[in-house]
Structure 1
């Protein structure tokens, strides 16, 4: 596939995944198409060399793995970590606000989105509902409204004269509720909302008990620029890394390498990873230990496997923006379409250290892929990733990398077409290397 074809597939992947729950469902479909078998955490595992498996925790975190034919204790795991969630707005449990003949939905900020980018967009809802089945069991189901359902209109400049000088500032409690309908006197607002959920999910309103709903942009991803070497979509941070990792995992050379390969895609990175399915939880350690146990490794062999393992934490990187040169560290301006970025921070906000950096550089060199290095501006606080969290829990040497992008945490982010292919090629090389 060409670089453009890979990005076209990425845009389709993102457009099918308007929430972390949908992202895992999309990943699952692709895994099943490559003969990966779903196994349950509640079952006993019986894994075989050459087998392909995946396990899902609470609908929005997934670990896919291929069992290698080499001695696991000697060769270790090759792990790719990324995250399925993106900064967004989430619907509150009692969301309907009825005033001034309009219905609005109350929302809460999830993570650190650029709130101004949600204004004047064609927004809708996607997520999951929990409901009671006829036998009393609790189940969940995905739902999605494809059509624009919500809007956050800007205040006219005549009433906000300083917006172009001071920037758009939105009060999270009072100014974020989203308009979704006109008020109808004959109908209770709460009933109107539950009917919306019934329409999208196919579940009767009396069965619906709770929900988790993500606000998303209905505009599809697109190529842009005079030479079409850039692309834009929502959730590039971090579904682009998930797509690159999954594409590398499903490559024939990787699957036939004899290595034990793991792709772990976590929810809740944007809010700190402290959950049962986040990178700070037990999900990845549980999966790795059960793999080792199932193929007959002793406890000491599992520890040896961890000592011989390597993890690539893939999360998007800050591309240099020429309109704002003072925001970047001199000498560390990473450029779009110039290759994967190795992210370095001496306070270990990224997991990279000199040996793991060198390891990834060698991978790029062998794959004939260019690479770049990033350090954050000294006067600005640095973000973090799942890398330091997962690496600390497991004691595995790790490196933090990502493709450069603009407008991180905007509802409409941008990146370079060539970089996505470069990242896939580098990760293929990682999975296939001896």
Structure 2
């Protein structure tokens, strides 16, 4: 359920981050929270019978989710208040034939997913989680999630004695340098990784009968849980803050909304690798749902998109006290100084003056401070699902984010106040009645 104060909010956020170790686990956790709050599951393959005031959710690929409220006072055709985020984070994923034995150590070959900051992955207690496809005893294919939970792997650094220049210059070869060590093996022994997965499936899901593992999508993750840090608990440190913090914040805002307006939360997968997938923002998931909410009528759909707005929530770069020169002098967001409007003249962010102006009005009503981020003109700018959603649907879009340190590291840092403040503004946005924009 929705959290009523910042302390409870951050506690629930930490619990969510501990559960959401992969996009599949994130969607499973969000679906569980929505069902507990009275949202009804829908299937894309079935006919929908939606009721005014009804609350619904659906998933795609097990890694993307849309939840929406059919407004009690305003149907979807009068415009949707939408929030978007993404479930994936940069990580190390296991290759299809990963087994390696070197110097008597059993290791797994990994592939880098997204723009990983690799150096922080060394010397961490790692576990493994994801989705496994398997054949049951009848020969039918099934899928299930696995999470080893305990530390089972480690990527040891090379000692400074063997690399004296490491503090002056260090590069990481992703093919050779980051293979996790899982165990030691006697000479001549080997481990079948798929057999190991079958044993883990049986341990986690005693009711299923696994004949053999067919394939998998598995990622390593840091077992250190999220925590509040700082002399006064000013910060929250965790893996996957980018962008599960936004998924959780949007979810809590939707749960706290009064349900009078038609509102929607979309959490896409694959943002970190370009969003071009069935579950990504470049895929048809959101457009398909919006068209169904418009009853398949092109004119109604055009009116729905024209009257709607999307807030794309994705973490922003906070100004680092040790590297302040990496920011524009006037656009260095600080942690715990409010969510950040993200602006780029070249449309790497989808913010325009209308969407930014509306957000500033909503934030002022909640007495939430607002910051702005523009990348240095001599540096390249990242992007989000915001421009993709705006370009694919024509919906006015704002890019917003909580300021963060260490983005794409195995462990990131955000202010313990900012997510709560963003949640308050998003809730007001969901409840905002009447026309969103003039004209």
Normalised by the length of structure 1, the TM-score is: 0.95
Q: Does 1:189 align with 2:188?
A: no
- Corresponding residue for 1:347? 346
Pick closer, same or farther for the CA change 1:76–1:267 going to 2, 3 Å: same
1:119-156: CA deviations, max 9, x gaps? Answer: 00000101010012344432210000111011100000
1:66-85: CA deviations, max 9, x gaps? Answer: 10134436630111000000
8 Å Cα contact 2:348/2:382 also seen in 1: yes
- Corresponding residue for 1:146? 149
- Corresponding residue for 2:254? 249
Cα displacement (A) at 1:186: 6.5
Q: Does 1:93 align with 2:96?
A: yes
Normalised by the length of structure 2, the TM-score is: 0.94
- Corresponding residue for 2:171? 169
Pick closer, same or farther for the CA change 1:74–1:106 going to 2, 3 Å: closer
- What aligned pairs does 1:12-411 form with structure 2 within 5 A after superposition? 12-72=15-75, 75-166=78-169, 168-185=170-187, 187-190=189-192, 193-202=193-202, 206-251=211-256, 254-256=257-259, 258-293=260-295, 298-411=297-410
**How large is the RMSD of aligned CA atoms in angstroms?**
1.4
Give, in whole Å, the separation in 1 of the partners of 2:156 and 2:377.
Answer: 37
Structure 1: runs of 5+ lacking an equivalent: none
What SS does structure 1 have at the residue aligned with 2:334?
A: coil
8 Å Cα contact 1:98/1:189 also seen in 2: no
8 Å Cα contact 1:73/1:308 also seen in 2: no
Q: Tell me how many residue pairs correspond in the alignment.
A: 425
Cα displacement (A) at 1:198: 2.1
8 Å Cα contact 1:113/1:409 also seen in 2: yes
What SS does structure 2 have at the residue aligned with 1:189?
A: coil
- Corresponding residue for 1:415? 414
Cα displacement (A) at 1:368: 1.5
8 Å Cα contact 1:73/1:304 also seen in 2: no
Cα displacement (A) at 1:365: 1.1
8 Å Cα contact 2:137/2:210 also seen in 1: no
What SS does structure 2 have at the residue aligned with 1:231?
A: strand
What SS does structure 2 have at the residue aligned with 1:421?
A: helix
Of residues 21-30 and 126-135 in structure 1, the stretch that sits farther from structure 2 once superposed is: 126-135
Give, in whole Å, the separation in 2 of the partners of 1:326 and 1:186.
Answer: 54
8 Å Cα contact 1:334/1:372 also seen in 2: yes
8 Å Cα contact 1:340/1:422 also seen in 2: yes
What SS does structure 1 have at the residue aligned with 2:96?
A: strand
Give, in whole Å, the separation in 2 of the partners of 1:133 and 1:56.
Answer: 24
Cα displacement (A) at 1:255: 3.5
Give, in whole Å, the separation in 1 of the partners of 2:282 and 2:298.
Answer: 22
Structure 2: runs of 5+ lacking an equivalent: 203-207, 434-439
What SS does structure 2 have at the residue aligned with 1:255?
A: coil
8 Å Cα contact 1:72/1:305 also seen in 2: no
Cα displacement (A) at 1:204: 5.7
